[in-house]
Amino acid sequence: MNSRNTIVSGHVKLKRFDPGDCGGLDKDDTKKRTRQLEMRIGELQPMLYANANRSILLIFQGMDASGKDGAVRGVLREVNPAGVEVTNFKVPSAEESAHDFLWRVHKAVPRFGNIGVFNRSHYEAVLAERVLGLVPKSVWKPRYRQIVEFERMLEENGVVIVKFYLHLSREEQAKRFRERLSNPEKNWKFSHADIATRQRWVDYIGAYEDMLNATSHDAAPWHIVPADHNWYRDHMIAKTVLQEMQKLRMKWPKAKEDLSKVRFK
């Protein structure tokens, strides 16, 4: 089975990807290298903030319990919170429903100099809304094209988009759900809605496959990340984010005036 952090190109079938793959890496050694990657991300973030001419948007999608919250905490562990904007997209409000489906998303795009995080995103409009039958096919199918055009527009205007699909196995999801039920510190995470979603597993996987194939493009490709093992998931995400930041070849901006003339009394 194929695996690793794979950039989607061509026709993807998720059954060909192993959610439990670890790339043959050693767990303890990899966790140490992940911390180094996270520290480097933290070192580059002030430079992004200082230049304030680009922003980075991290998008996380995946089945319930795939570890989206943990992935966000890990990759931004060493980043100054003042330069981060996190958005969780819930059921649209009355105001949001009165606009097009991307209206609330565009408002949440991070300002230049910041790192933005979408924990779930505009992709729910072609996932949950599709599977639950909230909108007809005549509505959700054109959204693939609309999303790609929207993301291309953002990329052309200085937003670097990095998209992660956290690929979790059905067996590991069941294990994590049982832990939510048995561990008092995780009881709050449990929701009967999670069970209802699990019962539609095949439908959701089909929707995810269509989403990955229709919306992975050169300006913002999808990265499939094996998510059964948190330590490997975090490593692949940190590695990818750092690579994208390094591509910007950032330098410290020059002062707007001659600082040699500045004197203090």
Q: pLDDT tens-digit profile of 67-117?
A: 999 999 999 999 999 999 999 998 899 999 999 999 999 999 999 999 999
Q: How many domains does the chain have?
A: 1
Contacts of 43 (CB under 8 A, 6+ apart): 78
Nearest 5°: CA angle at 134, between 132 and 140?
100
Q: Assess whether pLDDT exceeds 50 at residue 1.
A: no
Q: Assess whether pLDDT exceeds 50 at residue 56.
A: yes
Q: Which domain holds residue 154?
A: 6-249
Residue 10 pLDDT grade (very low, low, confident, very high; cuts 50, 70, 90): confident
Sheet holding 159-167, edge to edge: 6-7, 222-226, 159-167, 55-62, 115-119, 84-88
Residue 206 resides in a domain: yes
Q: What is the mean pLDDT of the chain?
A: 94
Residue 27 resides in a domain: yes
- Tell me what the mean pLDDT of segment 129-145 comes to: 97
Residue 160 resides in a domain: yes
pLDDT tens by residue, 149-182: 999 999 999 999 999 999 999 999 999 999 999 9
CATH number at residue 220: 3.40.50.300
Residue 179 resides in a domain: yes
Residue 5 pLDDT grade (very low, low, confident, very high; cuts 50, 70, 90): low
pTM of the full predicted structure?
A: 0.94
Residue 217 resides in a domain: yes
More confident residue, 142 or 256: 142
Residue 32 resides in a domain: yes
Q: Assess whether pLDDT exceeds 70 at residue 2.
A: no
Residue 157 burial (C-beta neighbours within 10 Å; 0-12, 13-18, 19+): exposed
Residue 254 resides in a domain: no
Percent of the chain whose predicted confidence (pLDDT) is above 90? 85
Residue 185 resides in a domain: yes
